[in-house]
């Protein structure tokens, strides 16, 4: 079975959709109440309604650029049908958001296969406090539940707490961890982790990295060094550079995404803490602006609340 085939089996299950719907409750409540006010007293979609809709999307943290794109598309649809009713606006908006997400994630995770990569190497980046370590732990749990051998590399050696958190997650999940003393060279930890993964025949390596947004050059050099060292052990590694963003920070998440994508070749996103915020619209904006697939979303505290991002299920959760 391909590395992530198990997601296809589980994440489309009714319980996964239910967890997603629950995780999006705050976003949905804010979004739909604003949408209702935007069309109050109007029977057709006119300029006033579109102006109000623009405000709804911007204040839902979809982002100005993406909002303007959605409004422009809806204007085109309205121009074709002069008598488009406000009752149809929800359906129209839902279609356009889903279409936008599909366009921005052409490399859809549902068809992802790890092929011949063994070990498959994931380097996880992101600032402190976004749920990086928790995401690593939950991902390790999901992989291990499918009998895949997983090892974690504690390469955030600048914080003693970071190494300890990785150790705790490894113990909780029941996977191996490679760590060195605090202050050790992160690239050395990554090198040792990959070497031992190859020796032990492990399937997946997940490398944690320091969550500091220090100057961009420093960040770029540090992550570049880790990548170069890993490639000496596993050519082509890391196969995935996963940027973890905190959905509850709204526009700050856009800025973090900008910084990290300029510093390294991020090719996957995980957006966490969506259950505790009304800012879930950030998923739409970040996906659109950065053209990087959102692969995982965090919708709760439990071990199983890291979900594969399903575009249709996400949009359904916003509008149901």
CATH number at residue 82: 1.20.120.140
User: Could you tell me if 85 and 142 lie in one domain?
Assistant: no
Q: Are 299 and 270 in contact (CB under 8 A)?
A: no
59 in a known ligand binding site: no
Domain count, the chain: 2
Any idea what the Cα angle at residue 253 is, between residues 32 and 56, rounded to 5°?
A: 25
183 carries a ligand binding annotation: no
Verify that 145 and 291 share a domain, yes or no: yes
Q: What confidence score (pLDDT) does residue 246 get?
A: 94
**Is 191 found in the same domain as 165?**
yes
3-state secondary structure the chain: CCCCHHHHHHCCCHHHHHHHHHHCHHHHHHHHHHHHHHCCCCCECCHHHHHHHHHHHHHCCCCHHHHHHHHHHHHHHHHHCCCCEHHHHHHHHHHHHHHHHHHHCCCCHHHCCCCCCCCEEEEEECCCCCCHHHHHHHHHHHHHCCCCCEEEEECCCCCHHHHHHHHHHHHHHCCEEECCCCCCCHHHHHHHHHHHHHHHCCCEEEEECCCCCCCHHHHHHHHHHHHHHHHHHCCCCCCEEEEEEEHHHCHHHHHHHHHHHHHCCCCEEEEECHHHCCCCCHHHHHHHHHCCCEEEEECCCCCCCEEECCHHHHHHHHHC
194 is in an annotated binding site: no
Is residue 87 exposed (0-12), middle (13-18) or buried (19+ Cβ within 10 Å)?
exposed
**204 annotated among ligand-binding-site residues:** no
With CA atoms as reference, report the closest residue to 298 among 135, 125, 113: 135
Q: Tell me: do 93 and 130 sit in the same domain.
A: no
Looking up residue 131, the CATH number of its domain turns out to be 3.40.50.300
Encode the chain (320 residues) as per-residue pLDDT tens digits.
455 444 444 445 677 778 888 888 888 888 888 888 888 888 888 889 899 999 999 988 999 999 999 999 999 988 887 667 778 888 889 999 988 888 876 555 553 346 578 999 999 999 988 999 999 999 999 888 888 899 999 999 988 889 999 999 999 999 999 999 989 999 999 999 999 999 999 999 999 998 876 566 777 888 999 999 999 999 999 999 999 999 999 889 999 999 899 889 999 999 999 988 888 899 999 999 999 989 899 988 888 888 888 888 889 888 87
Whether residue 289 sits in one domain with residue 250: yes
Q: Assess if residue 215 is contained within a domain.
A: yes
Residue 208 marked as a ligand binder: yes
pLDDT of residue 10: 45
93 assigned binding-site residue: no
* Residue 115 belongs to some domain of the structure: no
Shared-domain flag, residues 186 and 232: yes
Q: Is 198 annotated as a binding residue?
A: no
Strands 294-298 and 268-272, by their bridges, are parallel
In a domain, 318, yes or no: no
- Please tell me whether residues 144 and 68 are part of one structural domain: no
Boundary of a domain, candidates 103, 130, 147: 103
- Same domain for 150 and 99: no
Is 61 within the bounds of a domain? yes
Q: Is 132 annotated as a binding residue?
A: yes
Same domain, 75 and 140: no
Can you give the residue range of the structural domain that contains 20? 13-103
- Cα distance between residue 61 and residue 94, in whole Å: 16
Contacting residues for 13 by C-beta, under 8 A, at least 6 apart? none
Does 153 show up as a binding residue in the annotation? no
Residues 258 and 303 in one domain: yes
128 annotated as belonging to a binding site for a ligand:
yes
* pTM (two decimals): 0.90
Residues 94 and 138 in one domain: no
Q: Does 112 map to a domain? A: no
Was 275 annotated as part of a binding site?
Answer: yes
In a domain, 149, yes or no: yes
Does some domain include residue 206? Answer: yes
Q: Is 250 labeled as ligand-binding?
A: no
Structural domain contains residue 166: yes
| 151 annotated as belonging to a binding site for a ligand | no
> Which residues have CB under 8 Å from 168's CB, separation 6+?
none
Q: Is the same domain home to 126 and 91?
A: no
Is residue 264 part of an annotated ligand binding site? no
Confirm whether residue 133 is marked as ligand binding.
Answer: yes
């Amino acid at each position: 079975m391909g590395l992530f085939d198990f997601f296809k089996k589980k994440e489309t299950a009714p319980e996964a959709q239910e967890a997603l719907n629950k995780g999006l409750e705050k976003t949905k409540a804010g979004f739909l109440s604003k949408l209702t006010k935007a069309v109050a007293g109007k029977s057709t979609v006119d300029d006033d309604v579109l102006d109000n809709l623009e405000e709804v999307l911007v204040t839902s943290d979809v982002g100005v650029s993406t909002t303007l794109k959605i409004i422009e598309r809806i204007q085109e649809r309205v121009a074709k049908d002069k008598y488009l009713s406000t009752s149809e606006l929800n359906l129209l908006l839902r279609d356009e958001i889903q279409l936008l997400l599909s366009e921005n994630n052409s490399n859809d995770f549902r068809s992802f296969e790890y092929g011949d990569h063994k070990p498959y190497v994931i380097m996880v980046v992101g600032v402190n406090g976004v749920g990086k370590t928790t995401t690593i732990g939950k991902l390790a749990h999901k992989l291990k539940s499918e009998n895949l051998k997983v090892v974690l590399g504690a390469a955030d050696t600048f914080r003693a707490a970071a190494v300890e958190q990785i150790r705790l997650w490894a113990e909780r999940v029941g996977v191996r961890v490679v760590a060195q003393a605090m202050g050790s060279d992160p690239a050395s930890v990554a090198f040792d982790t990959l070497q031992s993964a190859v020796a032990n025949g492990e399937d997946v390596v997940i490398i944690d990295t320091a969550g500091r947004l220090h100057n961009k050059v420093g960040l770029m050099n540090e992550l570049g060094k880790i990548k170069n060292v890993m490639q000496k052990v596993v050519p082509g590694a890391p196969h995935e550079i996963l940027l973890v963003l905190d959905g509850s920070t709204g526009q700050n998440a856009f800025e973090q995404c900008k910084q990290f994508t300029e510093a390294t070749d991020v090719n996957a996103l995980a957006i966490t803490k969506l259950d505790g915020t009304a800012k879930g619209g950030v998923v739409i904006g970040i996906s659109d602006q950065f053209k990087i697939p959102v692969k995982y979303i965090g919708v709760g505290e439990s071990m199983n609340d890291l979900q594969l991002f399903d575009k249709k299920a996400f949009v359904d959760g916003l509008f149901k």
